[in-house]
Amino acid sequence: MTGGSLLPVGLVMTAAIWAVTLIIAKTAKSPVLRNGAKKGYWVLFAATTVVLLGTHSFAEGDDTAEELLTNPLGNGNARIARGALVAITLALIAPPLIRLLRNRQRKLPWPAMGMLTAYVAIAAVSTIYSAAPVVTIAKVVELSAGLAVVWVFALRPDNRIELRQVLRFVILLEAALVVGAIIGFFVAPDYFYRIQPWKPGWLFLPSMTSPFAHANSLSARGAMVATYALAMILKSPPMRERILWAALALVQTYGVILASGRQGILILLAGVAILMFVHKPRLFAAALLPAAVATVVVFREQLLTIFARNQLEALGKLSGRLTYWQAAVDVWSREPMTGYGFGAAGRFVAFETINVTTRSMLHSGYMELLSGLGILGVLPFVYVIYRACLWSYRKLRSRQETELAILIVPLLIHTAVANGVAAWLTADFFMFAIIAALSDIELRQNRLHAYSPPPLELVRVSAAN
């Protein structure tokens, strides 16, 4: 997909899809693109787009771990393009970030964002002992750029509003990629078909893939966006908006089925179940849950065949993932405190112990984190997960902004079987950082309210009494 071309095909396609999407959204006056008149607003959205664009520039190609250690740039231009995009991002956000850091007024804590920053700092320190130092440096710089963008949004005066807007903006970009892949599946099969005898599609023999995202990633993206759309429907917006959200949910669910991704189905089922339990508890308990159980009981053999793809043994091993994870745990046990370097332990250490040369990741962000940074990296990251989950739980419990709170479910599930939030920079990590920032802002505002002196009129009344 990348060899011989000036730019990687995935990057070019992603840029084209996002450009068309933004033009349509701007023409339709989408609420996602509001607040455009505020100073620096569009610069930050441009930085968001650029840094996420780089995550769709696949750089692996056919390089083995040994070849990458010898020549970190590999056999294509993908890594160069990705580095250039990171440089552009840093150039865009450096001035506002420096200005905001100088103008901070009240020093209240940022527990989740502080720990997330500590996690990135630990990743940077791991360059010293990394099994692949150049790879670690590149991934740390890219992750730092993504986190810095979120920090700028978090430090701005209207941080709560703008963080919610940029989170919806990222959802829009993710949804556009799934729609683009669906269209490509029918009009450009050379790029969007994947025929594998051991992995037949659920609707057609081929399953949907793309140059900018693997089939499993498309499945997870579609499920996340469909879950988000369902949450918007359950908030009972006007009928026209409800129809639009329903259409988006159906299209994204269709994308999950075309991609034939089991992780997407799992994410979708978990998200739908939680949302229905929160918004429609009686309907969930009286009808939906019994219907789901009955469906599994009656059609258990057919469902098992679909999910196992006629390979029950492979399903029991999670398509080889258990072997990868065991290798990760084994190498972690040798260096439990520090691991083997951010983004390097899986490909350059764990896979070497089991003679795997065709994989570039452990298919679990948690395992990448554990084997890459050890306990030193796990502790701050687990705390951030705790803060994000606590914020999401409170929002779901109060039925406030459930479309944002429910995102923690697909993010954490996806991390269990793919990179997700706990490896190098992805859209998942970017959204996770936004949720962490939102949890901190709410905490800061609660503390600021507690520190604020009572109104003067209340003081006078108390003194008179």
CB neighbour list of residue 238: distance below 8 Å, 6 or more residues apart: none
Reduce the DSSP state of residue 193 to 3 states and report it.
Answer: strand
CB neighbour list of residue 221: distance below 8 Å, 6 or more residues apart: 174, 175, 177, 178, 213, 252, 255, 427
CB neighbour list of residue 237: distance below 8 Å, 6 or more residues apart: 245
Residue type, 251: V
pLDDT in tens, 251-281: 999 999 999 888 999 999 999 999 999 999 9
Q: At what angle do helices 262-279 and 408-417 cross, to 10 degrees?
A: 160
Q: At what angle do helices 41-54 and 9-27 cross, to 10 degrees?
A: 150
Q: In terms of Cα–Cα distance, which of 379, 352, 20, 420 is closest to 183? A: 20
pLDDT in tens, 281-291: 998 888 888 88
pLDDT in tens, 161-172: 999 999 999 999
- Is it the case that residue 96 has pLDDT exceeding 80? yes
Model pLDDT, residue 277: 94
- In this structure, the chain runs to a length of 465
Model pLDDT, residue 446: 78
Model pLDDT, residue 236: 84
User: Which pLDDT band holds residue 108 (cuts at 50, 70, 90)?
Assistant: confident
User: Which pLDDT band holds residue 72 (cuts at 50, 70, 90)?
Assistant: low
Model pLDDT, residue 74: 59
Average pLDDT, the chain: 86
Radius of gyration, alpha carbons of the chain: 23
Q: Which residues pair with 193 in a beta bridge?
A: 208
Reduce the DSSP state of residue 276 to 3 states and report it.
Answer: helix
Highest mean pLDDT among 78-92, 263-277, 446-460: 263-277
Q: In terms of Cα–Cα distance, which of 47, 17, 7, 57 is closest to 182? A: 17
Letter string b/e over residues 123-137, b meaning 16 or more CB atoms within 10 A of that residue's CB: bbbbbeebbbbbbbb
d(CA 116, CA 369) in angstroms, rounded, equals 13
pLDDT in tens, 186-216: 999 989 988 876 677 778 888 899 999 888 8
- Is it the case that residue 458 has pLDDT exceeding 80? no
- pTM over 0.75, yes/no: yes
Q: Where are the alpha helices (DSSP H) in 309-345?
A: 312-316, 321-332, 345
Model pLDDT, residue 6: 62
d(CA 350, CA 332) in angstroms, rounded, equals 9
Q: In terms of Cα–Cα distance, which of 204, 210, 203 is closest to 189? A: 210
**395 in Cβ contact with 405 (< 8 Å):** yes
Lowest mean pLDDT among 199-203, 351-355, 402-406, 446-450: 446-450
CB neighbour list of residue 205: distance below 8 Å, 6 or more residues apart: 195
pLDDT in tens, 351-397: 888 888 777 788 899 999 999 999 999 999 999 999 999 999 999 99
- Is it the case that residue 450 has pLDDT exceeding 80? no
Q: What are phi and psi of 430, to 5 degrees?
A: -60, -45
d(CA 345, CA 136) in angstroms, rounded, equals 10
Q: In terms of Cα–Cα distance, which of 25, 88, 175, 119 is closest to 422? A: 119
Model pLDDT, residue 3: 42
- Is it the case that residue 36 has pLDDT exceeding 70? no
